[in-house]
Structure formats: C-alpha cells, structure tokens
Amino acid sequence: MKDYSYELLDLLEKYKGDAEAALRGETSPWCLYAFSPLRENLFEWLEMKKNDRVLQVGSDYGSCTGLFTERAGEVVVLDQRDENLEVNRRRHGEKENLFLIRGELPKADAESLGWKEYKGKERAAEELDALYKAGFDYVILPSMLSATEKSGAADLLERAAALVRPGGKLLAAAENESGVRYFMGAEPFEHSFLEVELRGLFEGLREKFGGTAMLYYPVPDYRYPVTLYSDDYLPQTGDVTNISARLDGPGLWFGNEEKAMANACRNGDFAKFTNSFLGMWEKGKA
C-alpha cells in the first residue's frame, strides 16, 4: 500500500492536529484509513494490562497507537520511515509511555540494533537496546504483511516472535488474496496471502517456538473492522452483512458481495473468501 504520510501531515497542519475534524472535512480513502476510529476495533478486544509492554511494528499513521498507550504501560513504535513516525508523533507525541523508534526488527545474528529514537529524549544506544531485551507482552504488526513479499513473511514473523515474552502474543493482519471483494472487482493489495498460506505461517511459529496459533477474520476487513470472527466462532448464513461499501477508490463492480459471502458461509468456505485475516500466536509460559 502506498505511503500517504506527507498527505496526512498536510491534513494535520490544515486541521490543527484534529484527526476527527479531518475525517469530517475530507473524503479521501487514505484519510479514512489513517484516522477512522474503526481501526482500533481490530485490537480493542485484547486484554492489555497497565504493566504490559507493547511493540508496534510499523507506525501505521498512529491509527492504533492511541489505544495501546491508553491500555498498556509502555508502547514502542518501530518504523523505518521518518514521515510515518512524524504523523504518529503529531497525533500521540504527548503520551509519556510512548517511544517512537526509527529502525527495524533485529535479525537473529545482528550485533547491533541500530535503533534511534525519533525526536525523543535522545536516549543512549544501551538504553534503546534495553527496550527490546526485556521482551514484550504484545508484538503487533497492524499492516506490515501488506507491505511484505510472501518470501519474506516467515522471516519477519520469526524475528517478531523472538521478542515476545513467555505468555505473550504476536498479532499480524493481512489481506486475503482470494477475498470476495476482489471477485467483485476491487483493486487488489500489493501483497496478500491465501488462507492456507497465512495459517501455515502461524502454524510454523507454533512448531518452531511452541505455544498456540489461531486465525481471526475481521469483517468487512482489517482496516475497517466491525465484527471479528474466529475458527471457534464462524458466521452463519446471513450473518455477514453491510460489507459492500467500497472504500478503496474507483473500480468495477461485478456482483453482490453479501450474497457471495452468504454462499461461502453456507458451503463452509467463509475462511477462504473473507477479505482479510488477523493471525495470532501465543507463546507458552516458561
């Protein structure tokens, strides 16, 4: 997905930092994607505690960062793009428990993190190293898989999993390559995964590191989630409604998305044709 950080910075300047005012005054899909309060629904159900540490991989315009800073004790946002971190800083920079870090997930054989605090207190490298060495109760990738080649997805998730504390969770959202909206004519994302592929990635974490793995299914998708289903709670025929709103920009329309999903539910194929996924791996307790 294209990065719209500069456009969003212009909007924050125009509306004096008021994201809600920008939502009321603008109609662009990327403004809705970045500022919609629906974004938080994807993670609102997590039972974060005030002593939990959260690592958010990918700044994602700060769309969920506010939720994390309210719920958890410490939140580290990691991104390689200054402009995306700047959007986040302008939205949430006043939060005392927030660290905005320029960098990427460390590789297993890395001698140095290379992390740098973005417009913060300029902490020493040793202090930044300590941010990740203590591990995290939640490592969350809100949209990183949509910008990751399939060939690199397993490595990305394994590097993220290495930072999860015992009993902690890793969560990552992804687009479904065979999502029903694409059969209706929606523009596909640059990188997406079949259900069997994403399930395989999270099962791979379970096999390598132990713990448990599960897929969730946000409806209508992970960007604007209203309902969250899972393998333990799948929709029945007719449950999946109000999903035909097209927020991706222009495109052709070849059918009724709700009817198609009703047929998928009837045939037991909801998981194959849902528009996106949220994978979760929970590390076993020591």
Inter-residue contact 145 to 191 (CB < 8 Å): yes
The pLDDT, as a whole number, for residue 1 is: 66
Distance (Å, whole) CA 57 – CA 37: 19
Classified as helix, coil or strand, 171 is strand
Quick one: 285 exposed, middle or buried, by C-beta within 10 A (0-12, 13-18, 19+)? exposed
What pTM did the predictor assign?
A: 0.93
C-alpha closest to that of 227 among 169, 279, 276: 276
The contacts of residue 83 (CB under 8 Å, 6+ apart) are 3, 5, 6, 9
Alpha helices in the chain (DSSP H): 5-14, 19-25, 29-35, 65-71, 82-92, 125-133, 150-161, 180-183, 195-209, 257-266, 270-273
Classified as helix, coil or strand, 54 is strand
The pLDDT, as a whole number, for residue 190 is: 79
Inter-residue contact 3 to 12 (CB < 8 Å): no
Query: What structural domains does the chain harbor?
Result: 5-179+193-225+276-282 (3.40.50.150)
Distance (Å, whole) CA 163 – CA 226: 30
Token couple for 251? 């495109």
The pLDDT, as a whole number, for residue 137 is: 98
The pLDDT, as a whole number, for residue 36 is: 92
pLDDT tens sequence for the chain (286 residues): 689 999 999 999 999 999 999 999 998 888 999 999 999 999 999 999 999 999 999 999 999 999 999 999 999 999 999 999 999 999 999 999 999 999 999 886 666 677 888 987 677 777 777 777 889 999 999 999 999 999 999 999 999 999 999 999 999 999 999 888 887 777 777 799 999 999 999 999 999 999 999 999 999 899 989 899 998 988 877 777 656 545 555 444 545 777 777 787 888 888 888 999 999 999 998 6
18 sits in the region (left: phi over 0; alpha: psi -120 to 50; else beta) called: beta
Burial 222-248 (b: 16+ CB within 10 A, else e): bbbbebbbeeeeebeeeebeebbebee
116 sits in the region (left: phi over 0; alpha: psi -120 to 50; else beta) called: beta
List the beta strands (DSSP E) in 36-188.
53-57, 74-79, 98-102, 116-117, 136-141, 164-175
